[in-house]
Structure 1
Amino acid sequence: MIVYKDGDWKPIEETQVSVMDHGFLYGVGLFETFRTYNGVPFLLKDHLKRLRVGLESVYIDWQEADNDIQALVTEALLRNEVIDGIIRLNVTAGISNWGLPTETYNDPSLLLFTRPVPKSGSDLKAGVFLDLRRNTPEGKTRLKSHHYLNNLLGKRELGSQTDIEGIFLTEEGWIAEGLVSNIFWIKDGTLYTPSLATGILNGVTRQYILHLGMLLGLNIEEGFFAKEDLLFSDTVFFTNSTQELITCKRIGDKEFPNESIWVTRIKELYQESTERQLLSYEQAKKVEMINGKYKLVSN
């Protein structure tokens, strides 16, 4: 893998980060992970928007333009001989003094990692409620930050199986999110997902699925939900930017044998979106029925 870091392209084995980088010392760093389809990053503007808001909240001054990042992604794909890839964009606080600063970080470090999309596995997973509870965010909202120990410990509890997604509950017992995903379920024509007030990450794919659900005319409800709300639903699915939409086939002893027609329609629209290579979900304005299928209509 050829990695970009602060103007240089080097093999990953030769890429180094200073021990005085506060991304290493104190975890002051954020990242975004997204996919490219036919060489074009999907929902790039939305990922960068979330990244900038998060960086501002941890006092990192980062001024890279969207077009410059898109150009870096294109070069990263070329250097790594990848077309359909997974990109991880990291911004760390950069080098600073030993201790907790009060000033803004004005010299952050940018890293770009690239790998091909793994070969397609099953688009079905089982869900397991984790014993480990979801930690509360370090700040006002959860950031996609270097503070990932809660997720790592959750993965240890889950083990090495790849066809299972761990489901975090909050300390109060509310449904939160998956180990590496947001969680949705549908019952009686309503699309449910936990509220951001539970302390979950506002995933870019999560936002886009809510957008597609709205375009399809689904009722949408975000809130505080118990295990029973999830288990007595019609269908459950997980979302993230790299795995897209993964249908949940079972949680414990509860089977979800049939995928809701609504999930099928959302998946179709999501696939169409990737084929259109949208850089922002605002480009998908509405949905129309064309030749028996729901189609996105954009200006």
Structure 2
Amino acid sequence: MFIYINGEIVSKEQAAISPFDHGFLYGLGVFETFRIYNGHPFLLDDHLERLNRSLHALMIEKEFNRTETTELLQQLSQVNGWRHSYIRFNVSAGNGEIGLQTAAYEAPNVIVFQKPLQPPDGLLEKKGTWLATRRNSPELNERLKSHHYLNSIAGKREVGDDPSIEGIFLNETGNVAEGVVSNIFWVKERTLYTPAVAAGILNGVTRQYIMHRAREAGMEVKEGLFLPIEVKEADEVFFTNSIQEITAVSQIDGQRFPGKHGAWTNKLFSFYASDREILWSRQQN
């Protein structure tokens, strides 16, 4: 497997960064994960918009655009020989002295990891479970997709290794937050509900796409602070992230839901399936 690192494509065995990278020493770094479908990086513009905003928040002086990023991804995909793949686009602060730095970081390390994926199939299904571990509060005004992953690791350890089960965090005040690696949605009649960013969640790119598409389909979309009982009373529940797409929920701690038979879940998934080899941004719709 080959990866991209600071302008070069090298084998994973050759890849290296300095131990003085402040992404390693202090967790100062952010990343995006997304899929390439048959050569097309789905919603790349939206991922880069969030990445650039996050880099600005961390005072890392780097910005990415579609043209250079697409060229990079095409080169990496060609070397690896993959048309369908997982991408982790990682930017860490770069090298510095030991100690907390207040000045901006001018030479970040850029690493792009790629893994092969099978061509997409139909709607997937998972079970959910409420976690005892609480979602921590964001360290800045809004949660970044950052190197600070201990809270998510704690949640994953609580759930265990079964990939068919997703843990669901409540935040520190007991409101529904998000999955360990996903955002959560539920449907009641023609209304789509999802926790607000103020609940301490990551504002997922797929999350934003789903809300946009749901409104186009005539659904009312409500973001807010919700208690678990409101999920338990739902007609349908599903998770979203950029790798697993839309994943239907068949049950949460034994309480059953329609899962992949849910009407609205299937309708939204059909939009996703028709868009994934075409869209650069949700705003194209």
Q: Which position in structure 1 is the counterpart of 2:272? A: 270
Share of identical aligned residues, percent?
45
1:241-284: per-residue Cα shift (whole Å, max 9, x none)? 00100000000121013633221111111111113x21111111
1:162 equivalenced with 2:163 (yes/no): yes
Q: Secondary structure at the match of 1:14?
A: coil
Q: Which position in structure 2 is the counterpart of 1:287? A: none
1:166 partner amino acid: G
Q: Which position in structure 2 is the counterpart of 1:18? A: 18
Q: Secondary structure at the match of 2:158?
A: helix
Q: Which position in structure 2 is the counterpart of 1:190? A: 191
1:221 equivalenced with 2:222 (yes/no): yes
Unaligned ranges ≥5, structure 2: none
Query: Structure 1 residues 121-130 or 45-54, which shifts more?
Result: 121-130
Q: Which position in structure 2 is the counterpart of 1:32? A: 32
1:107 partner amino acid: A
Q: Which position in structure 2 is the counterpart of 1:112? A: 112
2:2 partner amino acid: I
2:37 partner amino acid: Y
1:166-190: per-residue Cα shift (whole Å, max 9, x none)? 0000111100000100000000110
Inter-partner Cα distance in structure 1 for 2:53 and 2:116: 28
CA contact (8 A) 2:52 2:64 kept: no
Inter-partner Cα distance in structure 2 for 1:204 and 1:44: 10
Q: What's the offset of the Cα at 1:122?
A: 7.5
Q: What's the RMSD between the two structures over aligned residues? A: 1.3
Alignment of 1:57-72 (within 5 A): 57-72=57-72
Say which structure, 1 or 2, has more relative contact order (CA 8 Å, 6+ apart).
2
Inter-partner Cα distance in structure 2 for 1:279 and 1:122: 22
Query: Structure 1 residues 231-240 or 121-130, which shifts more?
Result: 121-130
Q: Secondary structure at the match of 1:144?
A: coil
Query: Structure 1 residues 207-216 or 111-120, which shifts more?
Result: 111-120
Inter-partner Cα distance in structure 2 for 1:92 and 1:179: 22
Inter-partner Cα distance in structure 2 for 1:40 and 1:122: 20
2:237 partner amino acid: V
- How many residues align? The count is 283
Inter-partner Cα distance in structure 2 for 1:195 and 1:272: 27
TM-score normalised to the size of structure 1? 0.92
Q: Which position in structure 2 is the counterpart of 1:8? A: 8
Q: Which runs of 4+ in 1 moved over 4 A?
A: 118-122
Inter-partner Cα distance in structure 2 for 1:181 and 1:83: 24
Unaligned ranges ≥5, structure 1: 285-299
Alignment of 1:1-299 (within 5 A): 1-117=1-117, 123-257=124-258, 259-275=261-277, 277-284=278-285
Query: Structure 1 residues 138-147 or 259-268, which shifts more?
Result: 259-268
Q: Secondary structure at the match of 1:207?
A: helix
Q: Secondary structure at the match of 1:124?
A: strand
Q: Which position in structure 2 is the counterpart of 1:297? A: none
